[in-house]
Structure formats: structure tokens, C-alpha cells
Amino acid sequence: MLFIIFLNMNKFSFCAFLCTACFLIACGDGLSKDKSSSGVIPKSNSSDKIVASSSASVSSIAQKTVDPLTVTRGSMTDSRDGQTYKTVTIGSQTWMAKNLNYEAAKSRCFKDKASNCTKYGRLYSWATAKTACPSGWHLPTKAEFETLFTAVGGQSTVGTKLKSKSGWRESGNGSDDYSFSALSVGYSNFKDYNYNESFFAFFWSSTENDDDNAYYMKLFHDYDSAFLYHDDKNAFKSVRCVKD
């Protein structure tokens, strides 16, 4: 009788062991799946979608990054007023390397000082910015700014690489690797208040967010990154034209 009970107990223990093993294997598979998915990029807003946290994304950015040594520097003259602008070709895009300074309706100088137009270029409302570039050039789309981000190595360092080497507050100057030479002019709102000189730079894109707002690129004195936000179309911001 004792021997039979012992056998039965062993059978019970053996069955319990098998069930436990099966449970551990199943849990092991689940843990493995969780671990393999830990590199998935979480949901984020549009301002950080260029930042790559997966190896595939990093590889993609690396393949598209333009070597600063291959950048072509030139110039163009605006036939409307004879002003000359430096240009820079970064990969497939050719950009003005200086803010537009064409005098148009709904444009102004920062703080209404002519010397600031000479230094920084003019500030434009969004509607004016869309038509302010000379023939053969246009206001960049949000997607074209994103292409620029990728070309200079990704959003996380684009600010430093595009900012000028002087004029930014609190050691916020850039390395200007690609001769884009972004200056920290700030912006004006529709009430003619002026903000953020030496702290930030704002460049309109031609892409609308909705009826009242449009996207722009923002550079910071205290961040290496650049971001794409949207703002009231009546605000006045800088313009960098890109070649058609």
C-alpha cells in the first residue's frame, strides 16, 4: 500500500513538474517577445520623428548623411533688387545660405530697424513668405526641411550643424559644418512685438497645419536639435529659399 501511494505521489509530482516546465517555456517565449520589441519607437509628436532609436533607422540616416566636404558653395543674385545671396548645395538640395531680404508687403525688419534687415534679412508673414522667393526658388515645404535634417546627420544634431558660429547667446553658437549659417534673429508677432533675438531662429515652411497655422523650423541656443512646430500665419518669421 505504501509503495502504491509512493508511486502515485511520484506520478503526481512528475505531472506537476511537466506542467511547471510547460508554463516556464510559455513564459520564456513571452519574455523573449517582450525583449525583442523593446527597441520599438514609442508614439511621439512630429517634432521628434526624425530621431532614430532603432538600428535600422540609424543605418538609414547614416546612408543619407551628406559629407560636409562634398557641399558646393556658390551665390545667386535676385534680379528684382540686385541683392546677392550665398548658396549652399547639400545633397540634392540647394539653399540660400542667408535669410531673404526682399522688401515685400507684410514684411518687416526685426524691431523695425533697417540695420537688422541688413544683418538678419526681413521677417515675413506666412502668406507673404509663400510668394517672396525669387523666380526659380521657393519657400521650402515641411518635408524639404525634414530632408535637410537627414542630410546633415539627423534631427538630434542638426541645430548645431546649421547654426552660425557667432551671435547665439550663452555659448549657443553652432559648428556651421554645412555653411547654412543660421542666425538667431527671433521673430515678431502680428502686434509688432519682437521676441527671442540671439536665443532662437524661426524659418517658415510652405506647409499648412490648418486654416490658421503653418509649420516652421525652429533652432535653439541651448539645444543641438532642430524642431518643426506650427504657429499663427500672421506671425513674422525668417525665410530661407530653396532652389526649384
- Do the domain assignments include residue 180? yes
The total number of structural domains that make up the chain: 1
- Do the domain assignments include residue 1? no
Q: Give tens-digit pLDDT for 1-49.
A: 443 433 344 444 443 444 444 333 333 333 222 222 222 222 333 333 3
Burial class (CB in 10 A: 0-12, 13-18, 19+), 12: exposed
- Do the domain assignments include residue 108? yes
Q: Give tens-digit pLDDT for 74-95.
A: 999 999 999 999 999 999 999 9
pLDDT at 172 over 70: yes
Could you tell me the residue range of the domain that residue 200 belongs to?
61-243
- Do the domain assignments include residue 35? no
The residue written with cell numbers 517565449 in the block is: 29
Q: Is the dihedral of CA 57, 220, 71, 128 positive or negative?
A: positive
- Do the domain assignments include residue 55? no
- Do the domain assignments include residue 177? yes
- Do the domain assignments include residue 80? yes
Q: Give tens-digit pLDDT for 186-227.
A: 877 765 566 667 688 999 999 999 999 999 999 999 999 999
Q: How far apart are CA 54 and CA 49, in angstroms?
A: 12
- Do the domain assignments include residue 52? no
